[in-house]
Amino acid sequence: MRLSITLALAGALLAVGTAGANDTKSGGSFASPNRFVQDDGEALYKSICQGCHMPDGKGAQGAGAYPALATNPNLEAGAYPVTLVVNGNRAMPGFGGVLDDAQVAAVVNYVRTHFGNSYEDPVQPAEVHDARPAKH
């Protein structure tokens, strides 16, 4: 069924993207309206981060900019990207409510070891837990 739909549509579209529905490392899993379920850092990057920071991690420039994550020295201390992903920063929304500690650690570790970054000290889920705002 799914295959036949894809084939029927392929000719009508400019190009069929690289993301396949069954590829766990790709985006577009659309598993839940309320949170992300992927546990793989690359899959999470491709489902969330690349919407703004772009597939190559180089960011983008319009009336305002999305900063590049590629070869970004601000990623050296793992706590910094952890805090940004959990709590957001300025216009960037926080994802603490839709990602658990292990997911945040996974996506941060993916970014810190890709796009020209090679920080080999992975952040741990416990560090993510500590970055969450204290419960009242």
Binding residues for another protein (CB under 8 A) = 2, 4-6, 8-9, 12-17, 19, 27-30, 32-36, 46-52, 54-55, 60-66, 88, 90-94, 98
List phi, psi (to 5°) of 80.
-70, -55
64 burial type by CB count under 10 A (0-12 exposed, 13-18 middle, 19+ buried): exposed
Judged by beta carbon, residue 51 or residue 121, the one nearer another protein is 51
Judged by beta carbon, residue 19 or residue 102, the one nearer another protein is 19
Judged by beta carbon, residue 52 or residue 119, the one nearer another protein is 52
Q: How far is the CB of 113 from another protein (least distance, A)?
A: 20
Q: How far is the CB of 108 from another protein (least distance, A)?
A: 17
Contact at 8 Å (CB) between 33 and 79?
no
User: Would you give the end-to-end CA distance of the chain in angstroms?
Assistant: 49
Give dist(CA 16, CA 55) in Å, integer.
Answer: 16
Judged by beta carbon, residue 28 or residue 116, the one nearer another protein is 28
